[in-house]
């Protein structure tokens, strides 16, 4: 595969068809599609996952989780924020390399996409939770919201409920200085290893 073919493949992976979930009813999980998004340019695309009847068992009520659509603008009602602890730990172990482990769970709204007053975000390299920001710019962990609006440049919410200090302690603190140090060291090790592998590939083979 030459560079042009590789570039076209990447572009194709990022061009997902929006929609496909308009008739869905029930709780949905929404998360950032890491392949279709360009975070540095604030162009986020979201995957929408729902519970649908399992075709393997048509005569039962069994369901399975499946991606039912994609979009860059939508609204969820009655929202819960979920972080998979195992996925969070993998980010730390891999020097900050992201994986899908954070979801926003709620009911898809028919409301026109909009923006709310509270900006919320999640970055596994900085936090263990979805957070909003206080008056001093300090991150405040949150657990739910009445509404969340998804837009290409991020998330905003209305009716946000914070985690209590007891809940934060139970789930674990935000990144400690030791964890940040370990994560930085791990990232440096990965960069060094990649440089060494690249150097070995470029070395002329002995005849």
- pLDDT tens digits, one per residue of 124-176: 777 888 999 988 888 899 999 999 999 989 999 999 999 988 887 655 545 56
CA nearest 154: which of 107, 120, 108? 120
187 belongs to a structural domain: no
200 belongs to a structural domain: no
In the chain, the number of structural domains is 1
Which runs of E-coded beta strand occur in 72-173?
A: 74-83, 102-108, 118-121, 131-133, 139-151, 154-158, 161-162
Top-confidence residue, 18 or 48: 48
Q: Would you say 105 and 83 are in contact if contact means Cβ atoms under 8 Å apart? A: no
Top-confidence residue, 120 or 93: 120
Return the pLDDT at 74: 93
197 belongs to a structural domain: no
Is the whole model's pTM more than 0.95, yes or no? no
Domain range for 95 is 10-174
């Amino acid at each position: 595969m030459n560079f042009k073919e590789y570039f076209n493949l990447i572009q194709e992976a990022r061009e997902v068809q929006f929609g496909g979930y308009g008739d869905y009813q029930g709780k949905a999980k929404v998360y950032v599609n890491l392949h279709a998004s360009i975070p540095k340019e604030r162009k986020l695309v979201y995957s929408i996952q729902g519970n649908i009847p399992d075709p393997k068992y048509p005569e039962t009520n069994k369901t399975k989780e499946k991606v039912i659509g994609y979009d860059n603008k939508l609204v969820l009602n009655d929202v819960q924020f979920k972080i998979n602890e195992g996925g969070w730990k993998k980010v730390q172990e891999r020097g900050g390399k992201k994986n899908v482990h954070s979801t926003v769970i709620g009911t898809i709204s028919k409301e026109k996409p909009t923006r709310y007053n509270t900006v919320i975000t999640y970055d596994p390299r900085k936090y263990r939770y979805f957070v909003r920001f206080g008056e001093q710019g300090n991150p405040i962990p949150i657990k739910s919201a009445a509404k969340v609006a998804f837009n290409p440049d991020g998330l905003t919410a209305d009716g946000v409920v914070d985690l209590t200090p007891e809940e934060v302690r139970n789930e674990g603190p935000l990144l400690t200085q030791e964890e940040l140090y370990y994560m930085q060291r791990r990232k440096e090790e990965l960069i060094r290893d990649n440089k060494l592998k690249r150097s070995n590939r470029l070395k002329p083979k002995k005849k």
